[in-house]
């Protein structure tokens, strides 16, 4: 279990983790099927989640990259590299806010 901040608005989703030096926990971007790390200073792990919160894919993204759009993804979860393994999050896992 980890602390999760939720980016709900367009501005929050567009800004994401830009300008941060790290993330404590994770950032959940609602209504988001693709992400980028342009302007980031550290790599991110990204989990793409379908409408039920099931993880369809996990990717490690170095700074300056764009992900491919994931057609089934309705949201994404971003965290520091290594976090998902520590939390047991992998493709097929279900993420909930409970």
Nearest to 54 by CA among 96, 20, 92: 92
| Domain of residue 27, residue span | 4-87
pLDDT tens per residue, range 39-90: 899 999 999 999 999 999 999 999 999 999 999 999 999 999 999 999 999 9
For the chain, the domain total comes to 1
Q: Domain for residue 18, yes or no?
A: yes
Q: Domain for residue 19, yes or no?
A: yes
Q: Which residue has the tokens 């030096």?
A: 21
Q: Domain for residue 83, yes or no?
A: yes
pTM: 0.89
Burial (CB count within 10 angstroms: exposed 0-12, middle 13-18, buried 19+), residue 16: buried
What's the number of CA atoms in the CB half-sphere (13 Å) around residue 87? 24
Q: Domain for residue 93, yes or no?
A: no
56: CATH: 2.60.120.1140
How many helical (H) and strand (E) elements, i.e. helices and strands, does the chain have? 2, 5
Min mean pLDDT across 15-19, 32-36, 38-42, 80-84 is at 15-19
Higher pLDDT, 79 or 19: 79
């Amino acid at each position: 279990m980890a602390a999760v901040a939720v980016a709900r608005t367009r501005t929050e989703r567009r800004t994401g983790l830009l300008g941060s030096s790290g993330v404590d926990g994770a950032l959940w971007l609602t209504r988001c099927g693709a992400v980028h790390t342009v302007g980031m200073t550290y790599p991110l792990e990204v989990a793409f989640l379908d409408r039920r919160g099931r993880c369809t894919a996990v990717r490690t993204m170095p700074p300056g990259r764009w992900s491919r759009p994931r057609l089934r993804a309705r949201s994404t979860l971003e965290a520091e590299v290594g976090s998902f393994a520590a939390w047991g999050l992998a493709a097929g896992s279900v993420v909930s806010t409970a």
